Amino acid sequence: MATFAALAEAIWTQVENRPMFPLAEIYANGLNPAMTLLALLHPAWCMQRTVATLPALSLTLDLRQLAPRTHQVLRVLLGRYPGDGAAMTSGQYNPLRPTTQAALAKLTPAWLRATGVPKRWFLLGAYLLAVSPRPIVDMDMTIISAVIPQRATLDTQTLSPGFDAVHDDELVDVAVALLRLKEGSVETLQALQQLPKRLGLALPAAAA
């Protein structure tokens, strides 16, 4: 997994005009928007596990506090699983089934008052992760979510974006294309030809 500094060096190698692109611009107009675009298009590329305890009889966990960079919840498990190979330390291994509030209301009209071992999860709004039924004891939960990578800055150069190393080339190529959009007509056309390969963008139709 490359650091932000290593990715910036790879970007400089491709743009071939290093003085025109200071490091701050490489990050602000190239790498950071490239990471965001790829994370949104490919949720499985940048994931995070968050372990939290849902208090007894509580309904929701606030993702703004637990995992503020979350843009999509992928799985919710009962128990504590801080890593892929971690052994269960409490609770029970039991993936909760995703649902919606409307579907749950049809299935169990009194869902809000129901208590027991949680079996389903859903979102209330954009940031509140809810379960049903509500636990009767404190319950450890593991939330696996797709996240927006942390931003690259001059103070975070030794950190990594959170993508697997296999995606480094895509990050660099998209960042270079975004930077070239500002260079001139020829470079802009090259960038528009490169971006669809990585992001699925449609080229504008040629004028008649």
What is the SS3 assignment for 144? strand
pLDDT tens-place string over residues 33-50: 999 999 998 899 999 999
pLDDT in tens, the chain (208 residues): 789 999 999 998 888 766 778 999 999 999 999 999 999 988 999 999 999 999 999 999 999 999 999 999 999 999 888 765 434 444 445 789 999 988 988 888 888 889 999 999 999 988 999 999 999 999 999 999 999 999 999 999 999 988 888 889 889 988 988 888 776 655 666 666 666 566 655 555 544 4
Q: How far apart are CA 177 and CA 189, in angstroms?
A: 10
Reported as a single tens digit per residue, the pLDDT across 81-91 is 876 543 444 44
- Phi, psi (deg, nearest 5) at residue 64: -65, -30
SS3 195: helix
Contact between 163 and 45 under an 8 Å Cβ cutoff? The reply is yes
143-177 in b/e burial notation, b at 16+ Cβ within 10 A?
bbbbbbbbbbeeeeeebbbbbeeebbebbbbbbbb
